[in-house]
Structure 1
Amino acid sequence: MESVKLDLENYRKLLKEYLLTNDETALYQAEQFSKLSVQHNISPEEIIHVHIEALKELYPELPREVSDSLNFLLEAMISYGLALQEYQFLRAKQSELESEISVAASMQKTLLSTVKPDIKGLEIGAVSVPANSMNGDYYHFVTDKEGTLGIALADVIGKGIPAALAMSMIKYSMDSFPENQRQPSMILENLNRVVERNVDPSMFITMFYGLYNPESETFSYASAGHEPGFYYHASEGMFEEIEARGLVLGATEHTTYQQFVNHIKKDDCIILLTDGVTECRVGDRFIERDEVLQVIKDYIHLPAQEAVDSVFKYFERLQDFHLRDDFTLIIIRKKV
């Protein structure tokens, strides 16, 4: 407290010196005083008060208008000081929150990390980019000793840290299922019970689960209200929507999911995505589905990973590098 008083006394001396001598050295010292005032947490109204006292000492007969204007300034600075304190407090809280979100985002990447598998006869490309720090989309690959490939793709209706925690629960629940219960319909039914019992009722999760069997060259799948994917017929150069219906996870406890199956031909592609792809917007206009498919078709000839990266970069540029929703795209191509 003593140092604060000394600083204010120093300001009084500097002001008197400048008013009497007009020495610019005093101006430089005043600049240094301003920096020290911040360090000592001296409020603007305290400085104005000392300024007024110093003026009255030098000029006891200040005109009434000048004296009143200084009092007016003092009252204004009192409000300013309170607003500044509130702003600084909010900035500090925002900084703390941003730090916590950064840690949470890093944890999410660790908890939800998945390895793109090397499956004989398949090309796999995957890209998932969050619109903000936390990703509400999630994808995961599961393999077994028979060489089958399980693909999970999900989107939480709700974002942020709660969504990340829900996704972590989904992943570890899925990894705990025995291999004889990895059929898509069974996976979704089991996960539905987990979500219904453990996730807040206001939060729902859409999910698509597919299973590729290399022996039968088939792709079995089921959907829990997820964005429809597409099957690309390479020989015809056309897309077919992957039709699958089902309630979102967590809506009701006892839900069953219908399972479908497709035979996969050489060079054909399975395209899985979230609504951040199909609901891409330019200004106030949503991109039409046919436009999205045309963009995918423009790059479908590339290796799968190059294709998904190129599609993402196209839509990123289209939205001026500002994603409005999490973007996840997976392309699986049968090579032999």
Structure 2
Amino acid sequence: MSLSKQQLLDAYKTMSEIRAFEDRLHKENLTGDIPGFIHLYAGEEAIATGVCMNLTNDDYIASTHRGHGHCIAKGCDIEKMMFEIFGRADGLCHGKGGSMHIADLATGMLGANGIVGGGPPLMIGAALTAKTLNNGGVGVSFTGDGGSNQGLVFEAMNMAVVLQLPAIFVFENNGLGEATGASYAVGGRDISARAEAFGMPAYKVDGTDVEAVYDLSKKVIEKARNGGGPAAIEASATRFYGHFEGDPYLFRTPEQHKKIKGETDPLQLFRSKYAKTISAEELDAIDKNAKELVDTSVKNARAAKWPDPSEVDTDVYVSY
């Protein structure tokens, strides 16, 4: 193993918190009390966790509309995230961003993004800053298989290569862009090969194996920190829920859905892989703590104050 037992426990804790957060929102959304759309990350926890274990608060990530897992893995406060999703004043963005626009610059989280493929151009700005300041920082963008088809993503990859930026493009291939199969929508059928064609090294990894994601990410991030230029990672996993909360999810049969949860769950695969190293009781305790944290966050969010209407025009533009 490349990870110590404590590192494995830390990784599982992050994945467990993401799962508890998403599963609770799956239920809370049915109450009608959450404004805006919600896109859940359940099933892909190992990707954000394995990548962000190699990052510090001085590194920056850019996310997608499916951003809760990236936020938690990067170190955003879970209670303040919940406040934000419920539209409360003490949320990370004062209740004005909601699920699809959570940001926390203090932890290097540039924000979830409602624009498909909108993260990579923001990320290379952070990577250019890191290179200009020569501070050893890196930028990482997370993009889905659907977003990988966007022209601005291609421009970002080209610019990263031309300028040799410390930029890592992580493509989370969950097999579906909304309800359209990646096998149909991705020309060439290979996201990593397409990224490699821009002149950067590109790799594939099992996105359900947190240690495999960690190991590969460590290699490419360390290379980028040391002036080695950009790289791309295609991580494959399967999301458990529909594209968004409210999606009728008719593109999979109940049998397919059950099989996915039984065979591709990163948390259950973790338990099996490390059964001789970490006891079930230790992992059960982590799951219990994660659930309690999320339950408390929901309770506090529901009781928290709403933004003052007089502040509707604040935080709209930045004054320099």
Task: Return the TM-score normalized by structure 2.
Answer: 0.28
Task: Return the TM-score normalized by structure 1.
Answer: 0.27
Greater Rg over alpha carbons, structure: 1
